[in-house]
Amino acid sequence: MSWVPPDLSQSCQAGSNITTCQPSTFLFLQLVSNLFGQSKDAVERQDHHTDLEDFIFGDKFFENVAAGGANREDNAYDFIVVGAGSAGCVVANRLSEIRQWKVLLLEAGGDEPDVTGVPAFPPMLQGSSIDWGYTTEPQQYNCLRRREQRCNWPRGKVMGGSSAINYMIYLRGSPEDFNEWESMGNKGWSYDDVLPYFKKSEDNHDAEAQNTFFHGTEGYLSIERFPFQDTNVNMSIRAYQELGLKIVDQNTDEQIGVMLLQQTVKNGERQSTNTAFIRPIRQKRKNLKIETNTYVSRILINPDTKIAYGVEYFKNNKVFMVTARKEVILSAGTFNSPKTLMLSGIGPSSHLNEMNIKIIQDLQVGYNLQDHSTLDGVIIALNNTATSVSDEERERDIRQYIQNHNGPLSATGTLQIDALVQTRYENSLDRPDIQLLLDTTNVQNFINDPILTSETNVLPLAYYDGLMLRPVLLSPESRGVVKLNTSDPVFGPPRIFSNTFRERIDVLRIVEGIRQGLNLLKTQAYRSIGANLVTNKLPGCEPFIYGSDEYWECLMRSYTGTLHHQVGTCKMGPIDDKEAVVNPELKVHGIKNLRVIDASVMPKVVRGNTNAAVIMIAEKGSDMIKNDWLHHKN
């Protein structure tokens, strides 16, 4: 199946003067689809299933399983990994290193298309055919000016998961984040415990690699900087230095400062976990089987013994079942892991009773949802960058990228810069609570129609005439919850109650983050190019004085944004933690042979971009599995 770009037809109304609604944008998307829409991984594969389309939900299914239908050798694996995202690809790689183990990796999406490899293309990946397309539920705290008061929360539905559609930032978080995890009862998750697993996956190609205490060079995951920086990248780093921030390696024990970020890229091309961990072994390890376009509906659990023994999934409009001799590993992500657990009878009793699902284990699945939140609307106009790019220039840049993986499309514009700072509300000595990012934007488009501009944001990050200052809340107090879809719990999207900005302290931190970020305009670096703050009031916030605390709060509640770092819905914690879903070995409390290994297990979100930490969790979780089955069990 080829990649399908976002459909702009509904958002772009006739006569719209937004640049991205012009015919040239549609032609560009078609060009990209033609050039990059296929996949290097697409091969002819013979699928082997046990056809169990008559085994449907209910007692009949369990009766047939109990009668022996699950024990056929050609339908049994040692391990089943559900979800081939940032974590699942790592787990499948590491478990299949043991030749005698038979591993099955199931992915709801298809093979990773070549379009994901181009670093400047993330805006056009969101909302495309490889995005689950989830949205938040309408609430009074956030997203008030978004369509239907819902915010889009993209998640990758493809081999590589969200690591195939993210912005490729490699930022681990503060050492104290992991020490805090351990202090919450999660023995073995201190920074000293997890650092070896960050290094294990890492193949660092930059000068940072010389610091061997913090960095690795022998892992599967290539870490390096983009090969291209435009003038505003270096100019902004100088500006932060003028403000007193020093250049630091934020992947060590020092985060506060500024950094030209390292990325999950190799020679100017994205390294998703599929690209890094699966592609090199996919056709080489005979003990690893990969099934794409496979929708897992639930984990099979014996309700009496509470032992997980397989999964049920849909493919080609048929239902199948496959069994695991050792373990099922759920790596479906922050939304789909809790959804799958609840469909399997593991979750809060009140909600499962409401959904008429038989309760196997009463756990607080779906709670503890956290995110790194931000906002749209704080805009800096630049006079040194042209956003109007001709078709010929775009085609030139595409040719340059295809030929040597260089040029404007080989980078993410000014999103290569990361500043980590503290506000007055942060109590720790050395941990940041705000991340300052500089996103790229078309100023006039945003002023004319901020909602439509956001909805049709599909052009490469290389083309812009303004910067969107994004203060990112790194340590939110607000907590949300994920629930099943009441009208279609199996195939319907989960209901996401984000509760973003519910807690007042979260608003206060971002307001101060805005003020710190706007100090860039006082620097010689920014004054020298005539950069200026765009003071047009956005719809819905007209009653407030521009630049007041009340105005900034109105912006964040009206034009809420996300860094796509949702975590926490299957919280890791000891047995006496009433909110915990998995224990420190990532085993589901009260259920045997079932683990969750993905972003959902984080008890608190790390103060960094979560992809690196998820990969670490997968590396450490894989070793836990190996330790159990190679050393402690026959």
Strand partners, 296: 313
Integer distance in angstroms from the first to the last C-alpha of the chain? 43
Binding site annotation covers 458?
no
Return the structure tokens found at 559: 């034009």
Return the structure tokens found at 616: 């670490």
Identify the residue whose tokens are 């969200």: 162
Active-site residue identified among 49, 215, 405, 565 = 565
Q: Rounded CA gap, 219 and 197, in Å?
A: 10
Binding site annotation covers 158?
yes
Q: Dihedral of the CA atoms 586, 588, 594, 597 (nearest 10)? A: -30
State the angle between helix axes of 504-518 and 549-558 in degrees (0 to 180), rounded to the nearest 10. Answer: 110
| Positions of E strands within 454-549 | 466-473, 481-483, 495-497, 532-533
- Say how many CA atoms lie within 13 Å of 374 toward its Cβ: 25
Q: Is 565 helix (H, G, I), strand (E, B) or coil?
A: coil
Q: Rounded CA gap, 482 and 163, in Å?
A: 21
Q: Is 215 a catalytic residue?
A: no
Q: Rounded CA gap, 540 and 558, in Å?
A: 7
The CA-atom distances, in angstroms, between 432 and each of 93, 170, 258, 501, 608 are 34, 16, 12, 19, 9
Concatenated DSSP letters for 224-261? B--S---HHHHHHHHHHHHTTPPB--TTTT--SEEEE-
Print the SS3 string covering 69-118: HCCCHHHEEEEEEECCCCCHHHHHHHHCCCCCCCEEEECCCECCCHHHHC
**20 Cβ contact list (under 8 Å, min separation 6):** 8, 12, 442, 445, 453, 456, 457, 458, 459
Q: Is 629 helix (H, G, I), strand (E, B) or coil?
A: helix
Number of Cβ within 10 Å of residue 371's Cβ equals 29
Task: Decide the pairing of beta strands 318-330 and 594-596.
Answer: parallel
Binding residues are 158, 296
Q: Which residues are catalytic?
A: 565
Binding residues for FAD are 158, 296
